[in-house]
Amino acid sequence: MVENKHEKDDVQYNEEFLCRLLRKEDIHLFRENFLALHPYDQGQFYEKVGPDIRETMYHFLSPHEMAVIFRELELEDDKYQDFLKEMDTSYGAAMLSEMYTDDAVDVLNELDNKERESYLEMMDSETAEEINELLGYAEYTAGAIMTTEYVSILESSTVRSAMAVMRKEAPTAETIYYIFVVNDGHQLTGVLSLRDLIIADEDTLIKEIMSDRVVFVGLKDDQEEVAQIMKDYNFLALPVVNDNKELQGIITVDDIIDVIEEEASDDYSKLAGISDVEDIDDGPFKSAKNRLPWLIILLFLGMLTANLMSRFEETLDQVALLALFIPLISGTSGNSGTQALAVAVRGIATGEVSEKSKMKLLMRELVTGLIMGIVCALIVVGIIYFWKHSLVMGLLVGGAISCSILVATLAGSFIPLLIHKMGIDPAVASGPFITTLNDVTSLMIYLGLATMFLSQIM
């Protein structure tokens, strides 16, 4: 614990020291200390300091050095726009030109059309054309997250000529661990690792040492599917091709980590009944706007529950004790439904639940719900019998809980599978939605059984 404290103090000291150098405008000492930091630490420093300190940084650092910092930032959408507005437009355009195309596209996507065009006009035509092409792909697709900075070589090349290409292209490539092989028509035909290239004889043809079993994705493939492929195969990079199998770009593992984090946050928000991902710095009005849509829908479903209870008003009037166990039954069924929902949504998201295993999942949840229902029913019967000295009431509540858990467990697993089959994100079958739906069904079961056996419990 003491060691961690010293490390934290050292980081804090560095920040204060760097800020002091910037205020004194000591450019040489600042650059010596700042550029010695890891790019992540540079990004953290840049993000923490105020606009006055950042203003000096823009004068002390080149657009290329600032591009390295910007690649490390993980900000809310509007923050990129705020930081760019602090810079001179020509400096900002030069910085974006120095970034990898996929990273530059991520930043430019957060600007309005007019601002985006002003930056593109200041870039060299080749860079602007590459960025414009990526901006044209639909959001959340492979084309939108790929980079065009990669190394490709002709299958007819020798290892010697391929190494010459590597030395020329490597400084600007985002990754060189995989070298993608193409034919004269730029169609993807193979792949080889950097190790394969280094240990091969210089006169060997590339097509003799490459692997022709290449896993690739299309420009329009969903980013979540791409993430699953990279996870399954443990790839560091994945090639992206068009309909003619021409190599268009690659997707690197760092971009996929961002996708996984984004998708996980999105699914978590939907499971909580929130229409959009919230940030801790969001204002109360924005937070309310994100939460209200589902809350209003659930409010109407809650009114359905109230209306349902009014239909059994006569039963409740005759046996007031019945009302005592309504929260117990609805709460237990809601919890079991949410558990089943979490298992199903996770299985769909990770690819563990395939078309063939859906029935297996439903059967497993059916048996699971049956076991949980029986165990909970026996516990409830025993408690009510010793508490209220009524075996009939215990059997009624126990039977209602058993049936409610079974139905809720099946609903929690079946609904996301059905929604996924319809091509909709299964996370929209959110926890609050399932809970409210199970409230309705559990009340129908409980009060229906109570009405049927009213004479025995009076």
Chain centre distance of CA 367: 32
Q: Is residue 260 part of a domain?
A: no
User: Over the stretch 321-342, which tens digit does the pLDDT of each residue have?
Assistant: 777 788 888 888 888 888 888 7
Last residue of a domain, one of 139, 169, 203: 139
Q: Is residue 32 part of a domain?
A: yes
| 244 and 348 inside one domain | no
User: Over the stretch 352-385, which tens digit does the pLDDT of each residue have?
Assistant: 777 777 888 889 989 999 999 999 999 999 998 8
Grouping H, G, I as helix, E, B as strand and the rest as coil, residue 153 is strand
Q: Is residue 338 part of a domain?
A: yes
What lies within 8 Å, CB to CB, of 354 at 6+ separation is none
| 308 and 403 inside one domain | yes
Cα separation, 429 vs 440, whole angstroms: 16
Residues 176-188 as b/e (b if ≥16 CB within 10 A, e otherwise) read bebbbbbeeebeb
pLDDT at residue 426, as a whole number:
64
Please give the C-alpha separations between residue 65 and each of 29, 79, 99, in angstroms, as whole numbers.
16, 19, 10
User: Over the stretch 4-56, which tens digit does the pLDDT of each residue have?
Assistant: 433 444 444 488 899 999 999 999 999 999 999 999 899 999 998 999 999 99
pLDDT at residue 8, as a whole number:
40
The pLDDT confidence band at residue 190, using thresholds 50, 70 and 90, is very high
Dihedral sign for Cα atoms in the order 14, 16, 21, 25 = positive
| 111 and 171 inside one domain | no
The amino acid sitting at 106 is D
Contact 131, 101 (CB under 8 A): yes
User: Over the stretch 374-419, which tens digit does the pLDDT of each residue have?
Assistant: 999 999 999 988 888 888 888 988 999 999 999 988 888 888 888 7
List strand residue ranges (DSSP E) for 73-223, in order.
152-154, 178-182, 188-193, 217-218
Cα separation, 398 vs 202, whole angstroms: 78
The pairing of strands 237-241 and 217-218 is parallel
Please give the C-alpha separations between residue 167 and each of 190, 197, 205, 239, 317, in angstroms, as whole numbers.
20, 12, 18, 21, 86
For residue 99, the domain's CATH number is: 1.25.60.10
Grouping H, G, I as helix, E, B as strand and the rest as coil, residue 111 is coil
Q: Is residue 272 part of a domain?
A: no
Residue 301: CB atoms within 10 A of its CB come to 16
Q: Which residues pair with 152 in a beta bridge?
A: 180
Q: Which residues pair with 222 in a beta bridge?
A: 141
Residue 303 in this model has a pLDDT that exceeds 80: no
Q: Is residue 262 part of a domain?
A: no
Please give the C-alpha separations between residue 158 and each of 182, 200, 368, 404, in angstroms, as whole numbers.
13, 10, 61, 69
Dihedral sign for Cα atoms in the order 422, 427, 433, 437 = positive
Q: Which residues pair with 252 in a beta bridge?
A: 237
Last residue of a domain, one of 99, 114, 139: 139
| 437 and 296 inside one domain | yes
Last residue of a domain, one of 118, 139, 160: 139
DSSP element (H, E) containing 240: strand 237-241
Contact 67, 96 (CB under 8 A): yes
pLDDT at residue 11, as a whole number:
42
Q: What is the pTM of this model?
A: 0.60
User: Over the stretch 82-138, which tens digit does the pLDDT of each residue have?
Assistant: 899 899 999 999 999 999 888 888 888 888 888 889 999 999 888 888 888 888 898
Contact 376, 401 (CB under 8 A): yes
Overall residue count recorded for the chain in this entry: 458
Grouping H, G, I as helix, E, B as strand and the rest as coil, residue 307 is helix
DSSP element (H, E) containing 324: helix 321-324
Number of domains in the chain: 3
Q: Is residue 6 part of a domain?
A: yes
The amino acid sitting at 83 is F
| 196 and 319 inside one domain | no
| 301 and 423 inside one domain | yes
| 318 and 449 inside one domain | yes
Mutual angle of helices 125-135 and 101-108, in 10-degree steps: 60
Structure tokens at 404: 């409610």
| 413 and 293 inside one domain | yes
Contact 329, 444 (CB under 8 A): no
Of 223, 194, 225, the closest CA to residue 210 belongs to 194
For residue 433, the domain's CATH number is: 1.10.357.20
| 57 and 15 inside one domain | yes
Average model confidence (pLDDT) for the chain?
82
| 310 and 174 inside one domain | no
Q: Is residue 397 part of a domain?
A: yes
Range of the domain at 43: 2-139
Arithmetic mean of pLDDT, 315-322: 65
| 232 and 300 inside one domain | no
For residue 243, the domain's CATH number is: 3.10.580.10
| 22 and 83 inside one domain | yes
Q: Is residue 267 part of a domain?
A: no
